[in-house]
């Protein structure tokens, strides 16, 4: 238990139309989460990557930066015409984008959150997924760089007043991805153009290193890519997507999974055992394995090692999402979006499936930082109805559910997985808490058992019958007569009267027939 006491408590951020709240995470007392912070009006809210800072976008273009230990405001910024804002991984810097009136106006500003001073300005025409945040940081904020026209620009993260200190020239550059832990390499994507194949290149971030790629992969039929670095910055997974499938097998185009390493031991396509698109790919927290969901439905899921050798087959099903828990022990395989929400939970260490369940209409899904709980959420504006939160145990059993009229955002507060005890110890501690709760509930219910016995002698009140339209009241009796069955319900007065008339007519006809025969 000593290890558990040192572990931080889980927290959940919930945002709706009236603002955001902060809940105490599971395990819940009495089955309901405690409210740590009541509703705070805002239009958006986000944690820094390490969970040390909270950025709150308040009304009137005010950005509030809060310390997550006390949730007290450190600094606030009044930014006119604000269009986008982003925190650096450790919360040291705030990056803002304002609508520019002239090209000469430097509308991207990097602020120091402690002092409130601007440390860097630049002009940017617009915000896209590839260009925001404009300045990218490694997880420790040691390396900082940005995507510019035909080049990658590097800064001194300790002193932005030096401006650009290093450049890597990449003609036709369209997107970059900086490795996070550590920030030693950067991947660059160049789309195909005028018969020249597209390419993914890996460069070293060191100022003294040559501006030549240490790894490169070229290909045709490529319009977009998804770049995924592993922890340790030794491997890069690149999902290459084309808008058109030349084989006409898929309406959504064609995709391939490429793998490159920084030591040049592997540069090529990952060999997948089923034809079709690559739906999702994710590295384990250790960075030694990755899991892929791929192929036409029912999709297939496989875990590979760093040499692209298959380690574990997770079967097939209506899946398009893979989530690896932070401890690397459990996997959730799911089918969200336009799929019915099937989920399969796996123990990767034991190579066995733990359970299956469903979470229909889920928009977001993520493991808790301790790796014990899996949370799904249905949020607006993606879905305007059935908004809510579901939290599952690591084996797929439902732990908590809450519905909302309108829900915009749900996030775990980020914490480093190393701050939590091992999964086995955490499971044992949770199980002991459950036993203690059952004991306390059992002792409290002894006095109530006698009262339940006495009240059980009284017959329960009958529930009111469901409404049935007039034309359907006799349907059961008519159907019974047609098929020679006994009617399930008592007939109405009119039906009984008509039945008696028919019976009398039958008797009268029978006596008349008997008289004729005599």
**Taking 80 as the threshold, does the pLDDT of residue 487 lie above it?**
no
pLDDT value, residue 506: 76
- For tokens 């912070």, what's the residue? 37
Pick 232 or 7 by higher pLDDT: 232
pLDDT value, residue 439: 53
pLDDT value, residue 449: 44
In the DSSP assignment, the letter for residue 160 is G
Q: For all residues of the chain together, what is the average pLDDT?
A: 84
pLDDT value, residue 169: 94
Read off the pLDDT band of 220 (50, 70, 90): confident
pLDDT value, residue 99: 86
pLDDT value, residue 438: 52
Q: Global pTM?
A: 0.78
Q: What is the pLDDT of residues 304-324, one digit of tens each?
A: 999 999 999 999 999 999 999
**Taking 80 as the threshold, does the pLDDT of residue 448 lie above it?**
no
66 to each of 55, 77, 93, 114, 140, how far by Cα in Å? 7, 12, 13, 10, 19
181-195, 256-270, 324-338, 450-464: which has the minimum mean pLDDT?
Answer: 450-464
Residues 6+ apart with CB under 8 A from 186: 145, 152, 168, 176, 177, 178, 179, 202, 203, 205
273 to each of 15, 278, 302, 317, 343, how far by Cα in Å? 41, 12, 9, 15, 22
Q: What is the pLDDT of residues 121-139, one digit of tens each?
A: 999 888 888 889 999 999 9
pLDDT value, residue 503: 82
**Taking 90 as the threshold, does the pLDDT of residue 119 lie above it?**
yes
pLDDT value, residue 422: 78
Mean pLDDT of 235-260: 79
Cα separation, 454 vs 381, in Å, equals 52
Cα separation, 250 vs 297, in Å, equals 11
In the DSSP assignment, the letter for residue 184 is -
**Taking 60 as the threshold, does the pLDDT of residue 516 lie above it?**
no
pLDDT value, residue 461: 40
Read off the pLDDT band of 481 (50, 70, 90): very low
Q: What is the pLDDT of residues 335-364, one digit of tens each?
A: 998 899 999 999 999 999 999 999 999 999
> Contact, 64 vs 76, CB < 8 A?
yes
Mean pLDDT of 87-113: 91
Cα separation, 252 vs 500, in Å, equals 68
pLDDT value, residue 248: 59
54-58, 282-286, 366-370, 425-429: which has the minimum mean pLDDT?
Answer: 425-429
Q: What is the pLDDT of residues 74-84, one digit of tens each?
A: 999 999 889 99
351 to each of 176, 346, 427, 435, 481, how far by Cα in Å? 36, 7, 18, 28, 59
Mean pLDDT of 152-173: 92
**Taking 90 as the threshold, does the pLDDT of residue 511 lie above it?**
no
**Taking 80 as the threshold, does the pLDDT of residue 43 lie above it?**
yes
Cα separation, 220 vs 381, in Å, equals 36
258 to each of 71, 147, 170, 198, 272, how far by Cα in Å? 43, 22, 20, 13, 11
Q: Dihedral (C-alpha) 467, 472, 474, 477: value to the nearest 10 degrees?
A: -100
Cα separation, 171 vs 152, in Å, equals 10
**Taking 80 as the threshold, does the pLDDT of residue 425 lie above it?**
no
Mean pLDDT of 41-67: 93
Helical spans, DSSP H, in 415-474: 423-455
Cα separation, 286 vs 231, in Å, equals 6
């Amino acid at each position: 238990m000593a290890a558990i006491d040192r572990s931080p408590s889980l927290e959940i951020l919930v945002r709706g139309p009236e603002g955001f709240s902060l809940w105490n995470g599971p395990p819940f007392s009495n089955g309901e989460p405690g409210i740590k912070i009541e509703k705070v009006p805002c239009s958006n809210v986000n944690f820094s990557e390490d969970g040390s800072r909270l950025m709150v976008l308040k009304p009137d273009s005010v950005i509030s930066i809060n310390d997550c230990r006390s949730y007290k405001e450190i600094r606030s910024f009044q930014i006119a015409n604000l269009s986008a804002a982003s925190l650096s991984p450790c919360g040291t810097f705030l990056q803002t984008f304002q609508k520019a009136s002239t090209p000469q106006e430097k509308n991207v500003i990097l602020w120091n959150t402690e002092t409130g001073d601007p440390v860097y300005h630049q002009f940017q025409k617009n915000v896209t997924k590839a260009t925001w945040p404009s300045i990218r940081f490694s997880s420790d904020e040691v390396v900082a760089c940005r995507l510019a026209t035909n080049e990658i620009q590097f800064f001194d993260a300790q002193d932005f007043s030096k401006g650009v200190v290093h450049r890597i020239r990449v003609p036709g550059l369209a997107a970059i991805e900086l490795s996070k832990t550590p920030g030693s390499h950067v991947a660059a994507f160049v789309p195909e153009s005028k018969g020249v194949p597209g390419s993914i290149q890996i460069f070293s971030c060191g100022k003294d290193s040559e501006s030549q790629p240490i790894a490169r992969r070229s290909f045709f039929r490529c319009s977009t890519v998804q770049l995924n670095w592993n922890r340790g910055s030794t491997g890069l997974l690149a999902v290459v997507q084309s808008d058109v499938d030349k084989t006409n097998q898929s309406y959504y185009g064609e995709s391939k999974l490429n793998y490159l390493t920084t030591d040049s031991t592997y540069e090529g396509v990952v060999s997948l055992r089923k034809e079709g698109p690559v739906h999702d790919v994710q590295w384990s927290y250790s960075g030694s394995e990755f899991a892929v969901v791929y192929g036409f439905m029912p999709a297939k899921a496989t875990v590979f090692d760093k040499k692209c050798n298959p380690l574990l087959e997770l079967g097939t099903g209506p899946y398009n999402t893979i989530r690896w828990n932070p401890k690397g022990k459990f996997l959730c395989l799911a089918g969200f979006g336009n799929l019915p929400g099937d989920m399969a939970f796996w123990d990767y260490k034991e190579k066995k499936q733990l359970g299956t369940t469903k979470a229909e209409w889920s928009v977001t899904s993520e493991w808790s930082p301790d790796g014990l709980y899996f949370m799904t959420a249905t949020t607006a504006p993606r879905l305007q109805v059935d908004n809510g939160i579901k939290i599952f145990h690591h084996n797929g059993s439902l732990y908590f559910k809450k519905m909302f009229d309108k829900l915009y955002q749900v996030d775990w507060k980020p914490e480093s997985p190393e701050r939590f005890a091992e999964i086995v110890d955490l499971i044992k501690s949770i199980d002991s808490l459950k036993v203690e709760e059952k004991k306390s509930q059992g002792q409290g219910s002894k006095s109530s058992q006698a009262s339940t016995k006495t009240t059980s002698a009284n017959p329960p009140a009958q529930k009111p019958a469901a409404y049935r339209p007039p034309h359907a009241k006799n349907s059961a009796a008519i159907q019974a007569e047609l098929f020679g069955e006994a009617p399930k319900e008592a007939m109405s007065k009119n039906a009984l009267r008509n039945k008696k008339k028919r019976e009398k007519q039958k008797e009268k006809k029978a006596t008349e027939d008997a008289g004729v025969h005599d």
